[in-house]
Amino acid sequence: MKDPALYLIPVTLGDTPTEQVIPPYNIRVASRLKYFIVENVRSARRFLKKCNPETDIDAITFCELNKHTDKSRIADYLSPLKAGESIGILSEAGCPAVADPGAAAVAIAQQEGYRVVPLAGPSSMLMAIMASGFNGQSFTFHGYLPVDADERAKKLKQLEAKAYADDQTQIFIETPYRNMKLAEEILQHCKPQTRLCIAVNISCDDESVVTRSMKAWKNRLPDMHKKPAVFLIYRG
């Protein structure tokens, strides 16, 4: 048998059925693990039940790792590895350790020399790049932009300039209830010919990934209030 490992297990985006976005192998791995580090215990339980209704959730130990977690406790979360037990990491949506706090646990596992195994699955960020039609050979993911309006305007102009100067796709996200505001600001601050891809609710029933110039988006923004969205900017 192989050494115990820290498995990075992607979860569904929204209410998507597992069979749509999760490979069968992941379900087998997730169903046999007894230890999980999770961004949110409630959503993690729901995902594991969705993967396998037979799973005895009460026999599983969950450690919560999110922005409220005391970082000094993370090393303890990995103690099952020392005892020869594998651990799974689950994000609230999509791939762990991308745009979520899971990377801190992975960094410690790498430092301690444990085996780290990433599993395939849905990533709204990556799926948005694929469907945007923008440069997939050079791109930057920026996470969230500054909240302050002036700083945000400055950042948007910087990213747009970079898209042209480096021929590089610029990707960012927003807290879903602020999506409409961000979209309006993008249209306001970027050049009319610059292209914007808006990817909303990827892999869900009302999924939409549409690329248009800023000019063509004017007065045609989709309803994305409180819906997970990814924004991508590229030269026109």
- Answer yes or no whether residue 110 interacts with a copy of itself by CB under 8 A: yes
Instruction: Return the HEC string of 160-209.
Output: HHHHHHCCCEEEEECCHHHHHHHHHHHHHHCCCCCEEEEEECCCCCCCEE
Q: Would you say 19 or 184 has its CB closer to a copy of itself?
A: 19
Is 188 near a copy of itself (CB under 8 A)?
no
Cβ-Cβ contacts under 8 Å for 161 (sequence gap 6 or more): none
Token look-up 């948005």 returns 128
Q: Which of 41, 116, 204, 221 binds a copy of itself (CB under 8 A)?
A: 116
Q: What is the footprint of a copy of itself within residues 144-183 (CB under 8 A)?
A: 144, 168
What type of residue sits at position 88?
G
Q: How far is CA 230 from CA 17, 24, 66, 138, 189, in A?
A: 21, 27, 21, 17, 18
Give the x-and-dash track for 13-52 against a copy of itself (CB under 8 A): ------xxxxxxx---------------------------
Applying CB under 8 A, among 197, 200, 229, 233 the residue interacting with a copy of itself is: 197
Which residues, listed in sequence order, are joined to residue 115 by a DSSP beta bridge?
A: 5
Q: Which CB sits closer to a copy of itself, 8 or 38?
A: 8
In total, the chain counts a number of residues equal to 236
> Which residues contact a copy of itself (rule: CB under 8 A)?
8, 10, 19-25, 95-100, 102-103, 106-111, 116-123, 126-144, 168, 197, 202-203, 207, 209-212
